[in-house]
Structure formats: C-alpha cells, structure tokens
Amino acid sequence: MTLAFGYVRASTQEEVRQGSNERQKDIIREYAQSRGYELEIFEDKAKSGKNTQRPDFERMLNTLDNEPKVVIVAKIDRFARSLSDLLRMLEYLGQKGVGFVSVNDPGIDTTTPNGRLLLQILGAFAEFERNMINSRTKAGREQAMNRGVRFGRPPLKTRNGSFIDRRKVIELNGKGLSSRAIAKALRCSVTPVLRILRENRLLIG
C-alpha cells in the first residue's frame, strides 16, 4: 500500500479546544482512504504557521526517507503562511519525490502541472493580501503618531505631573551630577532617573 503523510495544525489552544485538528484529520483520512493510501498523521497544536519551529512538522520532514508518495493537508494555510516558505517547502518535497495535496483547495496537487501553477497563484494572492494589511497597519500607525498618539513605553513624569526630559537627565549626568542630584534638579524621585541612566548604559553617581 502506498504511504501518505497527513499534516494538521492549530494556531491556538482555542482552535484545539474547538476541534480544528480533529476536523482536519477527518478530511485527510477520507481523502487518503479514497485513494487507497496508508496514512501516517503528524500533528502540531497551538503553533503559528509563521513559526517554522513546529515539532511534528519538522519530524514529518525528517521522516521523508520513509518514501511517502504525498503530503496531504486539509487547507493550504495549515502548511505554510508565506509564499516564500511555501515554495521552499514544496521544492524540498519535490526534491524528495513527494507530492503535495490540499484537499479543500481545489486543484492544489503538485503531482500535476496545473496544480503547481494554481498553487503558486493562490500563494501569491495570499502574500499580496498580507502585504496590503501590513501597509494599512503601518499607514494607520503613522497617522495616529501625526495626531500625537504615542506608542511604546509611556513617558516618565515628575512629582507635579510634568514629563521628565530624558535628554536633560543624560546631560546632567555628563556634567558629573549624581542620580540624586539630577532628581533634585528636575524635582522628581530618583527612581525614574536611575531607569533612564540604566536604559542608556550610563554610569550612575
């Protein structure tokens, strides 16, 4: 009987609890049975597609010497999330003489020329969509910053509520003032002064 590998993955624990992996297994088993494949399933739980350190994914790739005919997934996004990663993995499978089938993505079958072409087209559209989302996120962040919205760690404040001038702290430290002297000069506690000096890897007097 011809051997096939099935791969299933859930990105989060919530997906696991909702039965995502089990549904994927059912889809893969049905497909394998219809083709008369002997099936071995590899499963990752709560592993993002962007993370290449997926234990069972790596184990599957390291077991290709068992000469499976094909790797089967329920959906293409369970296998890879970026076009470059997808093409790299498919090239690796191809070098091993292993095909790739995504059951719920019609035409995704790298054992046929049309399947290989369609797979690259779909991957390109997915990559384009992610790039558009990233571009919109970046543009929104820039617009927010132009409106005065601050990102990252909030500014440190003095006792009267005014913001501490980090450059002033560094300047006074450069003039030889101790952290306590700087705090007194800026009318703030010594704690934020110490933090600023540590962040800038400066000697504290």
Asked if residues 171 and 182 have their Cβ atoms less than 8 Å apart, the reply is no
Query: What backbone phi and psi angles, to 5 degrees, belong to 40?
Result: -120, 125
Asked if residues 42 and 7 have their Cβ atoms less than 8 Å apart, the reply is yes
Whole-angstrom CA distances from 62 to 56, 69, 96, 121 are: 10, 15, 11, 28
For residue 13, the number of C-alpha atoms closer than 13 Å in the C-beta half-sphere is 0
Place of tokens 């087209």: 121
Give the integer Cα–Cα distance in Å for 67 and 65. 5
Asked if residues 108 and 100 have their Cβ atoms less than 8 Å apart, the reply is yes
The catalytic site residues sit at 11
